[in-house]
Amino acid sequence: MDLNKEQLLDMYKKMATIRAFESKAVELFAAGQIPGFVHLYLGEEAVASGVCACLSDKDYITSTHRGHGHLIAKGGNIKMMMAELFGRSTGYCRGKGGSMHIADVDLGILGANGIVGAGMPIATGAGFACKYKDTDAVSIAFFGDGASDRATFHESLNMASIWKLPVVFICENNGWAISNSQETHQNITDISDRASSYGFPGVSVDGNDVVAVYEATQAAVARARQGDGPTLVECKTWRWRGHFEGDPGAYKDPKDQADWLTKDPIPRLEKNLIKLKYATQAELDAIKAGVEAEIAEAIKFAEESPVPDPKELFTDVYAD
């Protein structure tokens, strides 16, 4: 493992931040403070954190409807994220996007997306731009197991392959597409096998092991930066919550749910850190406490922020 203490602790902080952010989102949604749809990333923290640890600000990502974790892992500002969930003018999108459309183009975050699979062609195009401009930047498309059945998966992977683009396709296989378990929506076990249809490598990793995610992504990113083209990385994980807040997820087998809860990626990394003597439990608890405080501040910021001026309805339809 080529990860040093600092890197591992940074991933840990990212995972803890996502966990705390999403846990608060559960409460805030239940309390009616967040309008619209909210799809949470609880249980999947290791994927975004492991992947984004391989990236810098000049690299691009496209996210999904379940995007909070990607945003945080890529360095998104938590206050502006929370304010956006609240629909406030201080939010990332000035309140015009909401949970499903948070973006930070300066950080290379080309947006969460309400259309399943829509991020893959966009990431392919961003990867095209990285190559066209002769940079060594790469582009990452996050998408789910359900999205791997969509049109855009096929067309994007094929195009990225023949153009040898620096794109890494990260499939977050969390076992579910709303109420459909993976085996009901596709007849394969490893989505990474689909890479063979496009003539580039595919690999499957334990998505609850942040180190495994990091290593697989690191290899794929290195390949991309060298000009060797795309890779498909499948991260097997589990969606802890219902599809969106409000869905109890009654279709899940309680036993599966219980099993997966025991695979929580955060304690798993904690054990690892302590074993490696990179941190004591007390230090880790301190990190978590710090994160909780940040989230609390973000919520306060959001609550105290003004709602948009109704005139904003008409702005930014077109660039001039």
Ligand X SMILES: Cc1ncc(C[n+]2csc(CCOP(=O)(O)OP(=O)(O)O)c2C)c(N)n1
- The span from the CA of 71 to the CA of 22, in Å, is 12
Shortest gap between Cβ of 76 and other proteins (angstroms)?
Answer: 13
DSSP label at 60?
E
Q: Is residue 112 within 8 Å of 64, Cβ to Cβ?
A: yes
DSSP string, 241-304: S-SSTT---TTS-HHHHHHHHTT-HHHHHHHHHHHTTS--HHHHHHHHHHHHHHHHHHHHHHHH
Near its own copies by CB under 8 A: residue from 200, 240, 260, 278 = 200
Residue 194 or 252: the one with the smaller Cβ distance to its own copies is 194
**By the rule CB under 8 A, 131 interacts with its own copies:** no
Shortest gap between Cβ of 22 and its own copies (angstroms)?
Answer: 31
Which residues make beta-bridge pairs with 172? 144, 235
Instruction: Write out the binding residues for ligand X, residues 57-96 only, by CB under 6 A.
Output: 65-66
Q: Is residue 171 within 8 Å of 148, Cβ to Cβ?
A: yes
Instruction: Write out the binding residues for ligand X, residues 218-257 only, by CB under 6 A.
Output: 239, 243
Residue 60 or 214: the one with the smaller Cβ distance to other proteins is 60
Q: Candidates 142-150, 225-233, 254-262, 264-272 — which segment interacts with ligand X by CB under 6 A?
A: 142-150
Q: Which stretch of DSSP H or E encloses residue 28?
A: helix 5-30
Residue 153 or 214: the one with the smaller Cβ distance to its own copies is 153
Which residues make beta-bridge pairs with 143? 171
Shortest gap between Cβ of 232 and its own copies (angstroms)?
Answer: 11
Shortest gap between Cβ of 273 and its own copies (angstroms)?
Answer: 38
**By the rule CB under 6 A, 266 interacts with ligand X:** no
Q: Is the dihedral of CA 290, 243, 175, 101 positive or negative?
A: negative
Phi-psi region of 287 (alpha: psi -120 to 50; beta: other; left: phi over 0): alpha
Shortest gap between Cβ of 5 and its own copies (angstroms)?
Answer: 40
Residue 1 or 188: the one with the smaller Cβ distance to ligand X is 188
DSSP string, 278-291: S--HHHHHHHHHHH
Shortest gap between Cβ of 128 and Mg ion (angstroms)?
Answer: 25
Residue 160 or 210: the one with the smaller Cβ distance to other proteins is 160
Nearest to 295 by CA among 41, 25, 112: 25
- The span from the CA of 294 to the CA of 72, in Å, is 12
**By the rule CB under 5 A, 145 interacts with Mg ion:** yes
Encoded one letter per residue, x for contact with ligand X by CB under 6 A and - for no contact, window 181-220 reads: ----------------------------------------
From Mg ion, ligand X, other proteins, none, which one binds at residue 88 (CB under 5 to 8 Å depending on kind)? other proteins
- The span from the CA of 123 to the CA of 10, in Å, is 25
Residue 117 or 166: the one with the smaller Cβ distance to ligand X is 117
Shortest gap between Cβ of 176 and ligand X (angstroms)?
Answer: 5
Q: Which residues bind its own copies (CB under 8 A)?
A: 149-155, 158, 161-162, 184-188, 193-194, 196-200
Q: Which residues bind Mg ion (CB under 5 A)?
A: 144-146, 174, 176
